[in-house]
Structure 1
Amino acid sequence: MVDAVIVGAGPNGLAAALVLAGAGLSVRVFEAAPTIGGGARTQELTLPGFRHDVCSAVHPMALASPFFRAFDLARHGVDLRRPEIAYAHPLDGGRADLAWTDLDRTADGLGADGQAWRALFAPLVARWPEVVAAIMSDFRTVPPRPTAAARLALSMLEQGTALRGRRFSGDVAPALLAGVNAHAIAPVGGLAPSGIGLVLGTLAHAVGWPIPVGGSQRIIDAMATELHRRGATILTGTPIASLDELPPSRAVLLDVAPGGLLRLAGERLPARYRRALARFRHGGGACKVDFALAGPVPWAAPDCARAGTLHMVGSRAEADLAEREVAAGRHAERPYVLAVQPTLVDPGRAPAGRHVLWAYAHVPNGSTRDVSIQIQAQIERFAPGFHDLVLGTHVITAAEQERHNRNYVGGDISGGATTAWGLASRPVLRWDPYATPLPGVYLCSASTPPGQAVHGMCGVHAAGRALRQRFGVRRNPLEFVAG
């Protein structure tokens, strides 16, 4: 018998395991895939010597998340490098909007809307730890310093409603903000996408959008090494079909989607809870293409070569149209394309003189369509001659995403639809979103608050519940992270 069992070795499952092992409990982790990491793995997907991140590639939360700040990735040998331009938004005509890590430099480049951009983000940047504490909470407790949360909420009400057109007079700043809002894979003018855009924009100016040297896998490997040091066991290539297959334990934490809980628990769950899980709504999907390149991307706007992340969709109106098409279950003719240039700060990802490019387009959930042609067309639109540099590609459609990661249902890499109500009520509407009706069984995936991104806090919150309810330990779970 062990004290706690974790199913799923993604960032949240490993974070939960670190908390529990740090509290002195015996922990065993089961992972169905041959390698751990879930959405944070790095592999040679195209050609030998070219290392690509399978899903997540850029990690502002690796510097901002309460979990990772307590864990201290640098202390565990993870080198996070920050491009001086966090994200760029290419426009037609060889222009580009640039989000520098320096807020004032960003504002200075936005012309007449620069002061409006500064006024929107400066109060959030000044209190970024409090903003992060609010959005990384369990959405059930009042933040310790609610002023920053209130400021974020007011900005969301402005940018997530018809009021969003009042702040900016031109088209440059709105396009830059729409590009970061679209990370939500939802219509860019909604409350939840606006909240995500504001937080990501704040972190761009506060801590940057870093890229791990060696790939996202380095974050996972650091967590696994520490887990082994604490005596935990990780078993890979071990799919679990039923809770009955798990060894006896006092707590079971599941880093799985709601449908995964249904498969694992079946009729053991009350009928009402099963129906609620079955109604869980997944969001749009992502079709991803990894490129092995003979040289750097030939951006028409030269400063794009200094950006770690790029949002390629054009104007705010184009971003709005593309995301609404996906939300309606249709493929956009010109989809929103998000790209990352890892070799900008980590040249070791490719052979000398070569480069890798990470890119995906938003598509309807469950899409089987290979949209790599559309992705290349959007890149070529802003980087003429890109096609001539491509040495190899690797494509994974939205429907295929689930084969690589069972939590990416239909290609939904966000753990559920990104709506204000969906984020607050996921996975089902109840006071404790982590505890299930089965004693000692908890959900800890991105389908619980606070939701998507590599931050580990879903695992931390679930582990905190398990410690209190199953082991009588009432300390802040983050106290167990540093070891």
Structure 2
Amino acid sequence: MIDVNVVGSGPNGLAAAVVFARAGLTVQLTERAATAGGGLRTAEVTLPGYRHDLCSAIHPAALASPFFRAFELTRRVRFVAPEISYAHPLDEGVAALAYRSVDRTADGLGVDGHAWERLFQPLLNRIEGVVAFTANQMLRWPDDTWAAVAYAVRVLEQGTGLGWPRFRGPVAPALLAGVGGHAAARQPSLSAAGTGLLLAAHAHAGGWGYPLGGSQAIADALTDDFLAHGGRLQLDTEIRRPSDLEASRATLLDTSPTFLAAFAGEALPERYRRALLRYRYGTGVFKVDFALSGPVPWANPEVLHAPTVHLGGSREEIVAAADAVSRGRVAQHPFVLATQPSVLDLSRAPVGHQVLWAYTHVPRNSDVDMTEPIIGQIERFAPGFRERILGTATMSARQLTEHDPNYVGGDILGGELTLRQLIKRPVVGRTPWKTPVPGLYLCSSATPPGPAVHGMNGFHAAVLALRQEFGVREVPSLAL
């Protein structure tokens, strides 16, 4: 018998495996795919020499994550935090730019610059407390009460729409709506506001980090540390039931609640199993990777310096697109989230060429091809883009589920982001990572603190299992 089985090598499964291995336990990490990383993978999918991130490409939470700080990720992987964290083009060559400097951002927002600064400066003044509050289980009393209050008040203000009159012009509202679009939720909503405010605060605090070499570099750093401390990794192996695993004292699943229900089956109390099956998943995504003959020809040349670009037009257009998808329809003018990593990392494409990563939200399980609507939205703000396309690779929401069953219906966030499901993720409790089955834990983004590449879900689950299954109360050092 071994000490621990970890199923799934996404960022949370890897984080948990590292913690256990560092504690001196025997750990088996099993992954369905041919490479470790889950959503942290980079590969050639269009043309030779063009390296694309298969899922996650943007890492606003990585540089601020308590787990990755303890792991000293920036000593293992070279990150670049650009001066412009994200850009939001508008028509007629106008563009809003979110710089790392909140003052510089405010200067570019004209009539709404002071209002933007008043919205974010209190969060930046207590950014450590804001990060700690959002990185921990929500039912726990915050370490920095004033940071939590400042964040919560702003989420309520923007999430209910009561604070929308804060801005008088069209540019600042579009910039905030674009970053809130990461939540795949209606606007206004608490989830979109909470996501947008946190991401924008990260942008102005430490910046949005991009790992050179792609997302795979983060997965490789975690995997290397795990193996260096005695961990065992088994790839190309699908797990369906407990008997597929070697006997262990603890098992952690970096999987969906749906998988947990099927995996544990009748061992789960009926009430808990019903809760898992009632767990709600969010909208799906349609993703396109582009191999380009050169840089994207943005109408506003400053956008070329922003590795992340939000394409959706005005706040009203973004609201309409999100509303359509939430009602089960494909948006006529979709909100598109794009990254152009070649702006920072010349290793991602042949000299002079670039890669572009883009996705849009679609109804769950949709098999609609959104390639042309995405190209059309890019062309709107970058005339001549189509002529620079050398190759594409697409993945519908339905294909995304086939690629990775954890993305149920094409939901890459691990479950619908609503206030209810941020607390009930997947159940309400002070230790939601632990299931009623002895020694069985869930550590995916379907547990607190939710999605993003921060490793905190796996870290929380592993620390809890160390204490409850092995009597280990001191968290092992994760430093180099």
Give the TM-score of the pair, scaled to structure 2.
0.99
Q: What is the letter of the counterpart of residue 424 of structure 1?
A: I
Per the alignment, residue 281 of structure 1 pairs with 280
Quick check: 1:47 aligned with 2:59?
no
Match of residue 480, structure 1, among 470, 474, 477: 477
Per the alignment, residue 434 of structure 2 pairs with 435
The number of residue pairs the alignment matches comes to 480
Q: What is the letter of the counterpart of residue 62 of structure 2?
A: A
Per the alignment, residue 390 of structure 2 pairs with 391
Q: Distance in 2 between matches of 1:427 and 1:327?
A: 21
**Matching of residues 261-276 of structure 1 within 5 Å:** 261-276=260-275
Q: Distance in 2 between matches of 1:127 and 1:46?
A: 43
Moved more, 42-51 or 423-432: 423-432
CA shift for structure 1 position 428:
1.9
The answer to whether the 8 Å contact 1:18/1:480 transfers is no
Per the alignment, residue 33 of structure 2 pairs with 33
Per the alignment, residue 73 of structure 1 pairs with 73
The answer to whether the 8 Å contact 2:281/2:414 transfers is yes
Q: Distance in 2 between matches of 1:46 and 1:232?
A: 34
SS of residue matched to 2:251: strand
SS of residue matched to 1:311: strand
Per the alignment, residue 307 of structure 2 pairs with 308
**Matching of residues 156-171 of structure 1 within 5 Å:** 156-171=155-170
Per the alignment, residue 323 of structure 1 pairs with 322
Q: Distance in 2 between matches of 1:3 and 1:162?
A: 50
The answer to whether the 8 Å contact 1:171/1:315 transfers is yes
Q: Distance in 1 between matches of 2:266 and 2:364?
A: 27
SS of residue matched to 1:61: coil
Q: What is the letter of the counterpart of residue 52 of structure 1?
A: H
The answer to whether the 8 Å contact 1:184/1:196 transfers is yes
Q: Distance in 1 between matches of 2:331 and 2:4?
A: 45
CA shift for structure 1 position 168:
0.9
Residue identity (%): 54
Q: Distance in 2 between matches of 1:154 and 1:165?
A: 13
Q: What is the letter of the counterpart of residue 365 of structure 1?
A: R
SS of residue matched to 2:337: strand
Per the alignment, residue 8 of structure 2 pairs with 8
SS of residue matched to 1:162: coil
CA shift for structure 1 position 25:
1.1
Q: Distance in 2 between matches of 1:65 and 1:188?
A: 27
Q: Distance in 1 between matches of 2:38 and 2:238?
A: 13
Q: What is the letter of the counterpart of residue 56 of structure 1?
A: S
Per the alignment, residue 179 of structure 2 pairs with 180
SS of residue matched to 2:250: strand
The runs of 4+ residues in structure 1 deviating greater than 4 Å are none
Q: What is the CA RMSD across the aligned residues, in angstroms?
A: 1.0
CA shift for structure 1 position 430:
3.3
SS of residue matched to 2:92: coil
CA shift for structure 1 position 429:
2.6
SS of residue matched to 1:399: helix
**Matching of residues 338-417 of structure 1 within 5 Å:** 338-417=337-416
CA shift for structure 1 position 356:
0.3
The answer to whether the 8 Å contact 1:47/1:392 transfers is yes
Deviations 1:274-323 (A, max 9, x none): 11111000001110000000000000011100101000000000000100
Q: Distance in 2 between matches of 1:185 and 1:130?
A: 25
**Matching of residues 99-138 of structure 1 within 5 Å:** 99-138=98-137
Deviations 1:236-263 (A, max 9, x none): 0011110122111111000000011012
CA shift for structure 1 position 431:
3.4
CA shift for structure 1 position 140:
2.7
Per the alignment, residue 86 of structure 2 pairs with 87
CA shift for structure 1 position 74:
2.4
Q: Distance in 2 between matches of 1:74 and 1:208?
A: 13
CA shift for structure 1 position 59:
1.0
SS of residue matched to 1:163: coil
Q: What is the letter of the counterpart of residue 303 of structure 2?
A: C
The answer to whether the 8 Å contact 1:209/1:308 transfers is no
Q: What is the letter of the counterpart of residue 370 of structure 2?
A: V
The answer to whether the 8 Å contact 1:113/1:170 transfers is yes
CA shift for structure 1 position 126:
1.9
Consecutive unaligned residues of structure 2, counting only runs of 5 or more, are none
Q: Distance in 1 between matches of 2:209 and 2:118?
A: 25
Give the TM-score of the pair, scaled to structure 1.
0.98
Consecutive unaligned residues of structure 1, counting only runs of 5 or more, are none
Q: What is the letter of the counterpart of residue 377 of structure 1?
A: G
Q: What is the letter of the counterpart of residue 479 of structure 2?
A: A
Per the alignment, residue 63 of structure 1 pairs with 63
The answer to whether the 8 Å contact 2:137/2:430 transfers is no
Q: Distance in 2 between matches of 1:446 and 1:402?
A: 16
The answer to whether the 8 Å contact 2:254/2:444 transfers is yes
